[in-house]
């Protein structure tokens, strides 16, 4: 077994790094001779740790299959000093592969006892924010503007490793180490992608709002800083996120709308006058001129300016208005707009 160490300095830190890549976290990535842990073996484990801004990437290289247990045991010794693991597609592949190989050697691994964040699974939770063709590591690297020197994938390097295992040549060794090193270092840089799923659960702070003719514009503050700007257009408005601010523009409607009373069974509808009256009053009226009110009859008209709402959003006890009972569109009076309502609308827009 050979152990190779490389250090470099982080050129930036932010809240996402401090959450996911703190000094109690190990990034890791394995290289193996195939996809099946029963037919293949691990020949390289790369991992990264951090102290302050200094990152150490360590690579455990097996010369052949007989040294596999050595690199697994060394990696196990390392992670015993840490509580958290982080990788890419690592819960479903890397961790599972290690567990299966440990079973072959009757080696008791504690990898499943660690808090494990899989950046692939985490990033897919932000599909509502990101428009990526897929969530592969290289795709995310390109989205974040990162470019690697390594031109190979893990499968293409299997024959390179087999050649190195037989011949021990430096050229093959360098290709193997470079690919793994770039994978681990790339994972560190794409930690930024975790700002997007974190945005869905982070606190949103109302900053300000203004009404400009038929638009309502408001600003929301967040404790995260997104690496790339994103924007989304909806039928009822749009949002734009830059750095640690969310800028939202919503459509306003000016005219007449209706609110519908929930207790329609307590009213009569006067056919000739197109109005409703309480049953206690209508009992004495001619039966030909009245009928039991339907849900669509029990409406109260209001003229003014209204804020268009996202579909199916729950605004609690705030009275809502519609053009008609059957309409899917709903609005609130601008007089009822509050900071908590705008925060709720922003949260809804981010998730839908």
Number of neighbours of residue 12 by Cβ within 10 angstroms: 9
Residue partners of 238: CB distance under 8 A and separation at least 6 = 231, 232, 248, 249
* Confidence at residue 152, expressed as pLDDT on a 0 to 100 scale: 67
Q: How far is CA 321 from the centre of its chain?
A: 33
Calculate the alpha carbon distances from 166 to 41, 45, 348 in Å.
16, 19, 58
Q: Structure tokens of 206?
A: 């109302």
Domains of the chain (ranges; CATH) run 2-196 (3.30.420.10), 206-261+298-351 (no CATH)
201's CB contacts (< 8 A; 6+ apart) are none
Residue (of 220, 214, 239) closest to 334 by Cα position: 214
Q: What CA–CA distances, in Å, run from 50 to 10, 17, 327?
A: 9, 11, 56
How far is the C-alpha of 19 from the C-alpha of 94, rounded, in Å?
A: 22
Q: How far apart are CA 222 and CA 273, in angstroms?
A: 53
* pLDDT tens by residue, 271-294: 888 888 888 888 878 888 889 989
Phi, psi of 226 (to 5 degrees): -75, 140
Nearest to 269 by CA among 253, 243, 288, 244: 288
Say what the pLDDT of residue 285 is. Answer: 85
In the chain (352 residues long), the average pLDDT of successive 10-residue segments reads 95 85 95 93 97 96 96 97 96 96 94 96 94 90 78 79 92 92 87 94 96 94 91 92 94 94 88 86 84 89 94 89 92 95 95 90
pTM above 0.85, yes or no: no
């Amino acid at each position: 077994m050979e152990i190779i160490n490389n250090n470099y300095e982080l050129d930036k830190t932010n809240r996402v790094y401090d959450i996911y890549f703190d000094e109690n976290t190990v990034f890791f990535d394995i290289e193996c001779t195939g996809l099946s842990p029963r037919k293949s073996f691990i020949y390289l484990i790369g991992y990264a740790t951090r102290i302050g801004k200094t990152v150490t990437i360590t690579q455990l290289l097996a010369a052949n299959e007989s040294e596999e247990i050595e690199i697994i045991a060394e990696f196990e010794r390392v992670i015993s000093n840490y509580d958290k693991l982080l990788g890419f597609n690592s819960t479903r592949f890397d961790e599972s592969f290690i567990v299966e190989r440990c079973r072959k050697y009757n080696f008791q691994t504690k990898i499943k006892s660690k808090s494990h964040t899989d950046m692939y699974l985490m990033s897919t939770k932000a599909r509502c924010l990101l428009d990526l063709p897929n969530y592969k590591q290289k795709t995310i690297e390109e989205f974040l503007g990162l470019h690697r020197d390594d031109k190979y994938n893990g499968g293409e390097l299997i024959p390179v490793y087999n050649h190195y295992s037989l011949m021990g040549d430096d050229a093959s060794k360098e290709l193997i180490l470079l690919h793994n090193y770039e994978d681990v270092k790339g994972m560190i840089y794409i930690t930024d992608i975790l700002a997007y799923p974190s945005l869905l659960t982070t606190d949103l702070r109302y900053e300000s709002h203004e009404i400009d003719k038929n638009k309502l514009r408001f600003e929301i503050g967040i404790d995260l800083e997104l690496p790339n700007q994103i924007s989304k257009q909806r039928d009822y408005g749009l949002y734009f996120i830059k750095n640690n601010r969310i800028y939202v523009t919503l459509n306003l409607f000016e005219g007449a709308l209706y609110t519908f009373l929930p207790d329609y069974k307590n009213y009569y509808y006067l056919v000739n006058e197109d109005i409703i009256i309480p049953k206690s009053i209508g009992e004495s009226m001619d039966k030909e001129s009245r009928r039991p009110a339907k849900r669509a009859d029990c409406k109260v008209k209001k003229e003014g300016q209204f804020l268009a709402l996202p579909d199916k959003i729950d605004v609690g006890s705030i009275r809502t208005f519609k053009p008609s009972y059957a309409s899917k569109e709903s609005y609130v009076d601008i007089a009822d707009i509050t900071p908590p309502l705008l925060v709720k609308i922003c949260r809804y827009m981010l998730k839908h």
